[in-house]
Amino acid sequence: MHPALNIAIKAARRAGQIINRASNDLDLLKVSTKKPNDFVTEVDKAAEAAIIETLLEAYPTHGILAEESGRQAGKGDEEYQWIIDPLDGTTNFIHGLPQYAVSIALAKGGVIEQALVFDPNRNELFTASKGGGAFLNERRIRVSQRTKLAAALIGTGFPYRMFDQIDLYLAIFKELAQKTAGQRRPGAASLDLAYVACGRYDGFWEFGLAPWDIAAGALLISEAGGLISDLRGEANYLETGNVVAGTPKVFAPLLKLIEEKLPESVRG
């Protein structure tokens, strides 16, 4: 295993301990609102601080892009950047719904090279290194072998901040409801992408995500034999925040169906 991935695992498990302890006392949790329907807790902040401390202890020159603290320039080594979501699925966490995760990725020159998604509830650790495959708790994972959209279970996420696209979302959802085996919307995109990588979902689509929602899951999917792109079928999803992913055979018809619904202003 790559040394940087080992450090990331150490960081994620530290964050997981903080999250698990806090989950036992949700009534005491202090919650603040960043934007409408976008919450942050002291747990997000404590988990992020623990992750950053662990990473910078090992790699003090690396840059950081983290959800709560924003961007920190590296000290002399701009080529490397850690992309961190300390608690993806905060709204679920606040409500005691056990579907949330820690997401950490390492980019070199803008290319994701190491990735992990850690579910502290199920103690499931998804990891990937570029060119080295994807794993769940050290067992190799692959995307599912489903080949037809009609048999596919698709993950998604609806807008919770940007409601100007809600009619477009619902139109795509309606069409996919009739042309797939079903859709799921659990509320933590990093885990949704990890579930595509290990075959629990056959595809996934969502718009308006942040880089820290996508970065780790994207590498998991590609290393597990799946495909992931933006709405143009290109690799600019970290910039656009728009993602379509799936098994090789499910990805193409899923992307085509979504593209056909999109106005030109939304594509990207």
> How far apart are the C-alpha atoms of 236 and 89, rounded to whole Å?
23
Contacts of residue 259, defined as CB under 8 A and 6 or more positions apart, other chains included, come to 231, 267
Say which amino acid occupies 168. L
pLDDT number for residue 39: 59
> How far apart are the C-alpha atoms of 68 and 186, rounded to whole Å?
22
pLDDT number for residue 177: 96
> How far apart are the C-alpha atoms of 70 and 57, rounded to whole Å?
19
pLDDT number for residue 260: 93
> How far apart are the C-alpha atoms of 143 and 204, rounded to whole Å?
12
Q: What is the mean pLDDT of each run of 10 residues along the chain (268 residues)?
A: 96 96 82 62 91 96 89 74 96 94 96 98 98 97 98 90 78 96 96 98 95 97 98 93 97 96 68
> How far apart are the C-alpha atoms of 205 and 189, rounded to whole Å?
10
pLDDT number for residue 36: 56
pLDDT number for residue 72: 77
Three-state SS letters, 62-73: CEEEECCCEEEC
Q: Are 233 and 257 in contact (CB under 8 A)?
A: no
Torsion angle of alpha carbons 73, 75, 76, 82, nearest 10°? -50
Give the CA count within 13 Å in the CB-facing half-sphere of 27. Answer: 0
Q: CATH 3.40.190.80: which residues of the chain?
A: 149-261
Q: Are 192 and 204 in contact (CB under 8 A)?
A: yes
Q: Which CATH class is domain 149-261?
A: alpha beta
pLDDT number for residue 240: 92
The CATH architecture to which 3-140 belongs is 2-Layer Sandwich (3.30)
pLDDT number for residue 35: 60
pLDDT number for residue 267: 55
Q: Where are the beta strands (DSSP E) in 59-218?
A: 63-66, 70-72, 80-88, 101-108, 111-119, 124-129, 133-136, 139-140, 153-156, 182-184, 203-206
Among 13, 107, 100, 30, smallest CA distance to 66 is for 107
Q: CATH 3.30.540.10: which residues of the chain?
A: 3-140
Q: Are 228 and 146 in contact (CB under 8 A)?
A: no
- Which residues in 196-209 are b (16+ Cβ under 10 Å) and which e? bbbbbbbbbbbbbb
